[in-house]
Amino acid sequence: MGKCLRYVTANTDTEEQSFPVPKEFNTHVEELNLDALIQRADNLRVNESRKVESFELLCDHKEKFRDEIEFIWRFARAYGDMYELSTNIQEKKHYANIGKTLGEKAIMRAPKNGYCHLWYAVLCGYVSEFEGLQNKINYGYRFKEHLDKAIEFLPEEPFLYYLKGRYCYAVSKLSWIERKMAATLFGNIPSSTVQEALQNFLKVEELQPGFSKSNYMFMAKCYADLNQIDSAMKFCNLAVLLPCITKEDKDAQKEVKKISTSLKR
């Protein structure tokens, strides 16, 4: 038999909408303690195809653990996963907004927990995709602020340096008019360089060699921009060797092919 739709919400103070989420018929909600729940949710999430199942598991226990920090930031992360998995714009906006609200709750309650800052930063980035230029810039500053705080508390977490590398790379490509707009609205101009982006991607590789296809792709991009062709080709080749599992992997694979083609001209 097919799947029915179950409506779920984060039950936050600011977001009471609901959206249909796939759920099997006749599901029995197993009672778990917090440690067991966290372990199971984390284990499920390792597998890309089971991230929805991890999300639903957290939804089933949100009333019981809604005030536990280790639950809250994982719930925010799960809404980020649902944002990534969804192909519907309204659903993506919905998941991003609820996740950001949960992230705000997490950092208010645990301001020294790096994971709270990490996932709040990520959700701010997702929400910014649906905003006008002024709010995009605002969320960009917020993203960088909380990413830096996360790095302060989790200096050995490679994912943070990958995100910072992406931020630096994007900022390095801002047009003059975009920089001017930021200065007009907020009084300062975001600045970074391709070299700074590359240093962050290299830090990822130092902490966890072969971290992701996307990290290698961005390293190749940076070296190509710096006209270091041999190094760019090296990381294109390393990227191709990693398997394509996620949508991000598939997007990175396409980008690597473009980079390789341009380098061979």
pLDDT given for residue 17 in this prediction: 43
Q: What is the pTM of this model?
A: 0.86
pLDDT given for residue 6 in this prediction: 34
**Could you identify the residue written with the tokens 């190749």?**
220
Low-confidence ranges of the chain (pLDDT < 50): 1-27
* CA atoms of 244 and 259, how far apart (whole Å): 17
pLDDT given for residue 52 in this prediction: 96
Helix (H, G, I), strand (E, B) or coil at 245: coil
CB atoms < 10 A from the CB of 211, how many? 18
Q: For each of the domains in the chain, give its residue range(s) and CATH number, in order of start.
A: 1-155 (1.25.40.10), 169-265 (1.25.40)
pLDDT, one tens digit per residue, over 130-189 is 988 788 888 988 999 999 999 999 999 999 999 999 999 999 998 888 788 777 877 777
Cα 188 to chain centroid distance, Å, stands at 26
CB atoms < 10 A from the CB of 24, how many? 12
Q: Which residues contact 129 (CB under 8 A, 6 or more apart)?
A: 92, 96
What's the residue count for the chain? 265
Q: Please report the sign of the dihedral spanned by the C-alpha atoms of residue 148, residue 150, residue 151, residue 152.
A: positive
Q: Which residues contact 28 (CB under 8 A, 6 or more apart)?
A: none
Q: What is the gyration radius of the CA atoms in the chain, in angstroms?
A: 20
